[in-house]
Structure 1
Amino acid sequence: MKSPKSVAKLEELGRVRLSPSFFMRDFLYSEIANLHGLSNIPDDPDLAIAAGTRLCEELLEPLSATFGRIAIRSAYRSPTVNAFGNERGYACASNEANYASHIWDRRDEAGRMGATACIVIPWFADRYERDRDWRPMAWWVHDHLPYSRMEFYPTRAAFNLSWREEPERRIDSYVAPRGCLTKPGMENHTGDHSECYDGFPSLGH
């Protein structure tokens, strides 16, 4: 598929079904693009679709089946939108750092395909408002799903959730306790963490 140059072709791209619950259109909204009149359309739709399909099938669908509705806060960014956001200080990393992350239609420097979405899980957001602890969701995902990276933020317990070929399996947070929760080589990386998310539903229920 070529990058859309007409409304009809953009509608066609938006209708691509990435998984039972998600369509490509769900991931193309951008406040930066809307406010500044920029195009948030993939240059390589086929790569974006392939990466987004893995993100949806392997991570978002199991989360939706387990916790209910998933709200997409930020997902695909075109290189133009991401570079603009980085230059303006809109909390966007550099394009190079976001290849195979928010920029779905570029492989990273190692040649790996990947995709990231910043999501809110309402079921967990309500819980987070009571105790302000983001770690139960982090450990639940770590124990159940083939994620590559997670990064947690303070508003409604939103977090970046990444799928990537050859996953890194690293969790970081901008919420206290800030920093790296786990990564390969840390003592807490392996084993069962179920005591950290007591009361959570089992996968797919």
Structure 2
Amino acid sequence: MTIKKVSSIAKLEDLGRTQLSKSFFMRDFLYSEIANWYIPNFPDHPDIAIRTGTELCQQLLEPLQEKFGRITIRSAYRAPSVNQLGNEKGHNCATNEKNFASHIWDYPNAKGYGAMACIVIPSFLELYERDQSNWQQLAYWIHNNLNYSHLQFFPKLCAFNIGWHEQPVREIYSYIQPKGFLLRGEMVNKEFEKFYPDLI
């Protein structure tokens, strides 16, 4: 189905029913507390959002769900107007320019198109609660097994942004200790398996 523009409730319903992968539909990614409170959240360019979201789901979210069981989506697609409002009101949204090709799926950044979701893996929480540094196990596992572009980890529930991009930069940043970049531009490395013994 081709959806050029969301111009009615029926079109929005059609967009929501669009299947992006085996387990995920576009509707799963349109929920937003900011949008619920202020303004609607749907893409200016649905066809692009569907294309980039499909890559995100098929290349990253489905393999994560196959490995770890059900994943929970915390935040995903943001319309430019929703993201801008979230930025202006201090709701933890970066500027639109920084979110193009990440949370704003239907606008490219300087390197091309991409899509991002913030997710939680419930089955991982017990390991994380035992030792918060275990976020690194998950980060290294993703690095060695998935074609991601960006990972960004947060302390609450070990939620993390995971992004697909046409030109992946493969960098991992954390707000959990130890804070900062874990990897930047590294290739897959079998030696990294020693960092995720609980996940093999």
The verdict on a shared fold, with TM-score over 0.5 as the criterion, is yes
Structure 1 counterpart of 2:37, one-letter code = L
- Offset, 1:195: 1.2
Residue 128 of structure 1 is matched in structure 2 by 128
Show the counterpart of 2:58.
Answer: 57
Q: State the one-letter code of the partner of 1:131.
A: D
Task: State whether residues 5 and 46 of structure 2, in contact with CA within 8 Å, keep that contact through their aligned partners in structure 1.
Answer: yes
Cα distance between partner residues in 2 of 1:94 and 1:192: 37
Count of paired positions: 197
Give the letter aligned to residue 92 of structure 1: C
Tell me if 1:198 matches 2:197: yes
1:60-114, Cα deviation, whole Å (9 max, x unpaired): 000011100010000000000000011111111110110000000101123x110
The letter for the 2-side match of 1:106 is Y
DSSP-derived class of the 1:192 partner? helix
Report the 3-state secondary structure (helix = DSSP H, G, I; strand = E; otherwise coil) of the residue aligned with 2:93: coil
| 1:104 alignment counterpart | 105
Q: Distance in 2 between matches of 1:184 and 1:3?
A: 36
- Aligned match of 1:3: 5
CA RMSD for the aligned pairs? 1.3
Residues in 1 aligned to 2:7 and 2:126: alpha-carbon distance in whole angstroms: 41
Contact 2:144-2:188 at 8 Å conserved across structures: no
Q: Is the 8 A contact 1:182 1:189 kept in 2?
A: no
Q: Which residue in the other structure is 1:75 paired with?
A: 76
Counterpart CA distance in 2 for 1:62 and 1:175 is 24
SS in 1 for 2:44: coil
- How far off is 1:192 after superposition? 2.5
Shift of 1:5: 2.1
Residue of structure 2 equivalent to 1:90: 91
Higher normalized helix content (fraction of residues): 2
Partner amino acid, structure 2, of 1:170: E
Hey, what's the Cα distance between the residues in 2 that align with 1:96 and 1:75? Answer: 16
The structural deviation recorded for 1:54 is 0.3
Distance in 2, Cα, partners of 1:65 & 1:56? 12
Structure 1 SS opposite 2:199: coil
Of 6, 28, 32, the match for 2:30: 28
Contact 1:143 1:192 in 2 (8 A): no
Going from structure 1 to structure 2, the CA distance change for 1:122 and 1:171 (only over 3 Å counts) comes to same
1:33-52 matches, within 5 Å, as 33-36=35-38, 38-52=39-53
Deviation at 1:190, TM superposition (A): 4.2
Between stretches 114-123 and 4-13, larger displacement belongs to 4-13
Amino acid at match of 2:199: F
List per-residue Cα deviations over 1:145-192 (Å, max 9, x = no partner): 00000000000100000000110000000111000001026xx97442
Name stretches of at least 5 consecutive residues in structure 2 with no aligned partner.
none
Q: TM-score, normalised by structure 2?
A: 0.95
The residue correspondences of 1:164-203 to structure 2 (distance < 5 A) are: 164-184=165-185, 190-201=189-200
C-alpha separation in 1, matches of 2:180 and 2:24: 31
